[in-house]
Structure 1
């Protein structure tokens, strides 16, 4: 048991340059705009400190979360990303997209730059990081507390052997790293205030206020535990009692262990499936039941590139993939919570449903550029909001009708207003299915007749017909009309979507380009896996749309034009690589499917996280992280292969991977 040391401020005083609400809009400079016409926000005059260059790569981060927000912890012991009080709130630690000037909490041995080993405690999202130094061994435990009254981070330093000198610097910067808050002391807590928001810190060691940061140096000996508890709260509640670190650790361990062990999955990849399920759970927003695409914004799809997007929102399509993973493993509560959120959100304006919403159901997601942040590894611009919310993506309504049918078929009763919701989505399909759209991949170039959108049109109509029959709705004329439309769409897909010369279904009508989304066609029941056209398409994608055996979404630039209207390239897409494993299994190549699946498992970082994309040349993760699309696809592929009797014997096959990916995953 460590001795409690009363925290205090040094004699230094700090007068904050400004006292700004972290939820307020960033300071607008001269009204400049970037080349795409987005609003370009520039920093206020307060950001003057020198920053430490960031050396962490995307795969160096682990996630801790409380189902309202999440933090990223680097292998160097720094928390470089945290938005409070919600996932989509302005970040107070934003070094992930800049440097130490933009907010960071470091905690590490004074002489070390990178941890020696880290892992999640079994069946939890409690991160344990071991540091081996010349002086001894120390362990840092990091967590956020699900169900706590306010977002809370607990960090515990524990001496294992020897006497290790430690250092910490806690430097919140409000409004995505724009400015420091006002620092003061309140009883035994250190407090930072900005507008109506407060950050509270309790510590077992003395901390001094230096350069708008709480800083401390201390030593830890065997058996000694030093605890830090950092909380967000309204400024009026700074006197609220703070949960003890020991209580927080126990509550967090109990929550995750109880939740993940409800899983019904039983197969050769139990630990991997559990890990991904916990990541997916951490990407749910408990107050509403919505599901995020990822925990971050603007991590680049290629280093130095401009394909940097804000994924801290709920895409209806992406959520359906997470829901399939939950449904396949017995986590029905999350499915029902999302379904209920969807009904409330869409029926607020049923004539104009959107393809995505904020996690609280808000529909206004204006896209802006934060001009003061240089971007991860210099990859600018940094964006918040997402213009895709206003795109026409005709596949989404079929995706939602499909998952609602799956939920109903699993035995979950319909929501009282579900029929109204489903009719609103069906109305969208019937009104717009003949129109070109932006498609699954949200292209920012010209709209096209994307084959995947037409496929999901067929799916939506088919599920609507099934729903009518399931509920015993006696509307023969409507059913006849829908059945006729279903046949019309199916005929058009086959006649206009299949390229005889390529012997493959292609990206859009009249196109000779492949698209990985076509791998999903048999999953939706449109054609069987044994259909010659399906097999030929899988072969073509495996042959012509892969890089080092991993699947691209599509060829961004074929030397003639750019399909999606965004400059630059991107990495291989992890979800589509899992889809290829599913397809190989579907066409009878189960051994090849299992080998690819094992390879994909090997691409996870040292604590089991996957981002959106992967660079097979450098071995680096790319895009926002952790990515729900990737982890949901991992779970559903594992379930499918396990049902077929596939085993981990494929692990004996060692693919030719870059050295950076050869890591042991806990």
Structure 2
């Protein structure tokens, strides 16, 4: 077990709980080291993940320093159960966040399973990313306490006696078989009265019913159903229920390189990541989230299409300025800790393709000829007609200057192709002759400028010999079939050049062209893209071998980060990552049963 002085554990040691407004990361040691309230992108009140326990943490665990630990999610839910076994017996810690209550709560149940086990609870709330120590006072009815700082309030309710000193709240208790101790921590704005008490047992039942009912709608029943369903639940947990926005990850600044500076804030709604997430959900039978996201999209991009942003806040906010929380030492020393994301102002042409592709898929799934969605799609495509030829920062959001990225141009072709398909299928008004001509022009340009005959491969950008794993998506997107010699050459070149221990890197970071220090892990979404590309080539045995190896990289509760370090065998980057889990689902669907 970790002591309260230790640094955060490996990224893969965490599990996720959430309620559709925010999410928390729970370690194997029973510590909640990350929680932003009241939204995914709000300041954290537990930020030990990016520092020390002194930056905010809530831990419940046996007093025994070395219990045996087993974790699982209850089937089809986001209810986490951690079983601690000691020489004195066994105890289960059940962690969850009930959706739909109106106020956000973390509920922790300590259930005695065998024997008698001494337990300890240690609560150290620190608002504003660990910078602010709250004022803690007892509740008037004696049912717990409240912590207040600035606009924020967190209320802890429990029947156990609490001890408070030095800004921390603790409890020492013994749990016997058949007994349950409950802790409910609820958020509210500090100017309001303390929120109404939550019935923990009723909340647990309602939470299990919610998630189980949602999971039964999954239409995938292949041999990878468990992994697919866990990924779907994770994607649902990253959806902001009040607005329909979908975050790329619930964390910020988990490093893509141990101790490095490639640390970014992913707690926002990227059009690309959300589009790929929705495509995975739609292919698995989920349409409700797509309807909500399309409403979010229409609100967020309202106005002139030339003002399109590549990412937004959860309610469609356009300004997410990037700054550094310099008081946080970073995850295992990886600095800086960034809040906000400066990529919001970049030009990334590929987002037009991902959005158009998703709107077309939604239209064929349930929208039909919805005029509002078509008006949005048409305006975006008409703006793309004027900018597709420009250099951009690309899918990987480089900070080394704009280039003519091949994948960006391919996605411009996708935007037109899907808009044309919608107009043709649903008799929607569109300048089809002009769009068809431009679609052909873009395709010809990519094949002429983005393909290197000496390499027999498409390249990262026009006029270079660098490779890029995003080009693995060419057959999935329908730009060229998997059997085309140029596609086969590209896949082969990526396999020769961008594999590390059989896993795929996005591109060669040592060239320095991305404007960042070199070095990062293998990119898990790209590795799933390779498995899918292999399957589309008919290399099913190789595809299954790679796919199942990737599944083996999931942590003990089925979650994956953005990247993986084959040398240290650890997960890297923000966690869990929507793009990774969406790629897992798509690959599983292509692999079939």
**Which TM-score applies when normalising by structure 1?**
0.87
Three-state SS of the structure 2 residue aligned to 1:600 is: helix
Task: Give the aligned CA root-mean-square deviation in angstroms.
Answer: 1.4
Shift of 1:481: 1.8
Three-state SS of the structure 1 residue aligned to 2:475 is: helix
Q: Does 1:548 align with 2:501?
A: yes
Partners of 1:62 and 1:607 within 8 A in 2: yes
Please name the residue that 2:106 is paired with.
153
Partners of 1:75 and 1:114 within 8 A in 2: no
| Deviation per residue, 1:196-251 (Å, 9 max, x gap) | 32111111211111110111111111111111000001234434321111011111
Q: Distance in 2 between matches of 1:114 and 1:543?
A: 45
Partners of 1:307 and 1:568 within 8 A in 2: no
Please name the residue that 1:497 is paired with.
450
Q: Does 1:440 align with 2:395?
A: yes
Shift of 1:338: 0.5
Summarize the alignment of residues 131-142 of structure 1 with structure 2, pairs less than 5 Å apart.
131-142=84-95
Residue 235 of structure 2, aligned match among 268, 280, 285? 280
Three-state SS of the structure 1 residue aligned to 2:305 is: coil
Range with bigger deviation, 259-268 or 183-192: 183-192
Shift of 1:402: 1.1
Q: Does 1:267 align with 2:230?
A: no
Partners of 1:76 and 1:114 within 8 A in 2: no
Q: Distance in 2 between matches of 1:110 and 1:386?
A: 41
Please name the residue that 2:266 is paired with.
311
Q: Does 1:375 align with 2:330?
A: yes
Residue 250 of structure 1, aligned match among 205, 208, 212? 205
Shift of 1:118: 0.6
Residue 572 of structure 2, aligned match among 622, 644, 650? 622
Shift of 1:398: 1.3
Summarize the alignment of residues 439-518 of structure 1 with structure 2, pairs less than 5 Å apart.
439-473=394-428, 478-518=431-471
Please name the residue that 2:149 is paired with.
194
| Deviation per residue, 1:477-516 (Å, 9 max, x gap) | x322222111111111111111111111111111111100
Partners of 1:340 and 1:415 within 8 A in 2: no
Please name the residue that 1:395 is paired with.
350
Q: Does 1:127 align with 2:76?
A: no
Partners of 2:155 and 2:194 within 8 A in 1: no
Please name the residue that 2:525 is paired with.
575
Q: Distance in 1 between matches of 2:202 and 2:468?
A: 50
- After superposition, the Cα gap between the structure-2 partners of 1:51 and 1:606, relative to the gap in structure 1 and judged at 3 Å, is closer
Q: Does 1:385 align with 2:335?
A: no
- After superposition, the Cα gap between the structure-2 partners of 1:539 and 1:245, relative to the gap in structure 1 and judged at 3 Å, is same
Shift of 1:113: 5.0
Please name the residue that 2:252 is paired with.
297
Three-state SS of the structure 1 residue aligned to 2:96 is: strand
Q: Distance in 2 between matches of 1:345 and 1:413?
A: 22
**Which TM-score applies when normalising by structure 2?**
0.97
Q: Distance in 2 between matches of 1:292 and 1:473?
A: 31
Please name the residue that 2:179 is paired with.
224
Shift of 1:90: 0.2
| Deviation per residue, 1:8-36 (Å, 9 max, x gap) | xxxxxxxxxxxxxxxxxxxxxxxxxxxxx
Q: Does 1:565 align with 2:515?
A: yes
Partners of 1:77 and 1:114 within 8 A in 2: no
- After superposition, the Cα gap between the structure-2 partners of 1:411 and 1:191, relative to the gap in structure 1 and judged at 3 Å, is closer
Please name the residue that 2:45 is paired with.
92
Partners of 2:67 and 2:85 within 8 A in 1: no
Please name the residue that 2:299 is paired with.
344
Range with bigger deviation, 306-315 or 464-473: 464-473
Shift of 1:629: 0.4
Summarize the alignment of residues 10-49 of structure 1 with structure 2, pairs less than 5 Å apart.
none
Q: Does 1:420 align with 2:375?
A: yes
Q: Distance in 2 between matches of 1:618 and 1:239?
A: 46
Please name the residue that 1:321 is paired with.
276
Q: Distance in 2 between matches of 1:114 and 1:132?
A: 5
Summarize the alignment of residues 108-119 of structure 1 with structure 2, pairs less than 5 Å apart.
108-112=61-65, 116-119=69-72
Partners of 1:112 and 1:133 within 8 A in 2: no
Please name the residue that 1:170 is paired with.
123
| Deviation per residue, 1:284-317 (Å, 9 max, x gap) | 0000101110010000001100000000000001
Residue 72 of structure 1, aligned match among 25, 46, 58? 25
Q: Which runs of 5+ in 1 are unaligned?
A: 1-49, 646-666
Please name the residue that 2:492 is paired with.
539
Partners of 1:206 and 1:216 within 8 A in 2: yes
| Deviation per residue, 1:294-347 (Å, 9 max, x gap) | 010000001100000000000001111111111111111001110111011111
Range with bigger deviation, 239-248 or 59-68: 239-248
Three-state SS of the structure 2 residue aligned to 1:374 is: coil
- After superposition, the Cα gap between the structure-2 partners of 1:140 and 1:209, relative to the gap in structure 1 and judged at 3 Å, is same
Q: Distance in 1 between matches of 2:437 and 2:117?
A: 74
Three-state SS of the structure 2 residue aligned to 1:411 is: helix
Residue 609 of structure 1, aligned match among 551, 555, 559? 559
| Deviation per residue, 1:526-579 (Å, 9 max, x gap) | 11111111111111111211101000000111xxx3121011311000000000
Q: Distance in 2 between matches of 1:223 and 1:628?
A: 38
Q: Which runs of 5+ in 2 are unaligned?
A: none
Shift of 1:413: 3.2
Q: Does 1:61 align with 2:11?
A: no
